Amino acid sequence: MKVVIPAAGLGTRFLPVTKSQPKEMLPVLDRPIIQYVVEEAAASGADDILIVTGRGKRALEDHFDQSPEFEVSGKFPEVQRLSELTRRVRIHFVRQREPRGLADAIGLARHHTGTESFGVLLGDTINVCEPPLLRQLWDRHEQLAATVIAVEEVPAEKMQDYGIVEGVEESPGLYRCVRLVEKPRPTETPSRLGITGAYVFTPEIYAAIDRTQPDQRGELQITDALQVLAAERPVYAATFRGTRYDIGDRHLWLRTNIEFALRNPEYRERLIPYLERAVRER
């Protein structure tokens, strides 16, 4: 399986830290966000990953490079595990030269994926699912021979942060997409199915991207490209088993760190008394 990870965004909601560091390299507990994403792809069956970067993102390439000074000694098992991951999965990089939207970033993979279907995971979202979320989507794709995207119900006040799917439920948790709307107001659609940022695309998505019109900012949105594709052939949206952690802003990043720490026995034992005391004192 080939997987594409768009990671070219500017990370403006994290400034000034993202002025010199990619958002995808922000740590969640003990490793950067992008490593969780690559680990999910590998656990889903990926053996070939293309990461789409942009200006100022060289740290992503450096992170997945070999580090013999840490590996030879055997004193750093975390680095050893990362090295084993990069030996198991081929990781490539391509640069999006200007910020032209998610669909444009995905379109840069066309020569890499060719005529194969492929998965897409966003570089700033961590999914904790069993089986892995991308594996769940890939299994659906193999049954349907069609593009499948992950969705979950979102509250009305968050709809303008998501692409929203209107669809016909063909089986529990599986919808045939009828209309896809990018960041609508609650009054624009009765649906609350938000696109979460995990996809399995058939190669026809590239022709759909080519026919997609830029939005008001001059960017190509993948929601709009999916609408073009859905007008010609089946596109499905599927709910999933598990939890998605969006690292889109500072609050969500901090909350994710706390939740991951509380799930880890080593940190949980020390963190809970501190949090209880901190809440009491404030």
- pLDDT single digits (tens) 94-120: 999 988 999 999 999 999 999 999 999
Q: Both 267 and 190 in a single domain? A: no
Give the count of domains, the chain.
Answer: 2
Residue with tokens 């990953």: 49
165 and 279 together in one domain:
no
The one-digit pLDDT tens for each residue of the chain (282 residues) are 999 999 998 888 889 988 889 999 999 998 999 999 999 999 999 999 999 999 889 999 999 988 776 666 667 778 788 888 989 999 999 999 988 999 999 999 999 999 999 999 999 999 999 999 999 999 999 999 999 999 999 999 889 889 999 999 999 999 999 999 999 999 999 999 999 999 999 999 999 999 999 998 899 999 999 999 999 999 999 999 999 998 988 999 999 999 999 999 989 999 999 888 988 887
Task: Give yes or no: residues 128 and 203 share one domain.
Answer: yes
Q: Are residues 166 and 256 in the same domain?
A: no
**Residues 233, 253 share a domain:** no
Shared domain check, 160 and 76: yes
At 24, which CATH number?
3.90.550.10
User: Are 178 and 80 part of one and the same domain?
Assistant: yes
Cβ neighbours of 216 (radius 10 Å): 5
Residue 261 domain boundaries: 249-282
Q: Is 270 found in the same domain as 243? A: no
29 with 159, same domain: the answer is: yes
Distance CA 156, CA 243 (A): 19
Question: In this predicted structure, what is the pLDDT of residue 199?
Answer: 98
List, in sequence order, every beta strand (DSSP E) within the chain.
2-6, 27-28, 31-32, 48-53, 90-95, 118-121, 125-128, 147-153, 163-171, 174-182, 193-201, 235-238, 243-246
Averaged pLDDT of the chain: 92
276 and 141 inside one domain: no
66 and 93 fall within a common domain: yes
The conformation of residue 219, written as its DSSP 8-state character, comes to P
Same domain, 176 and 258: no
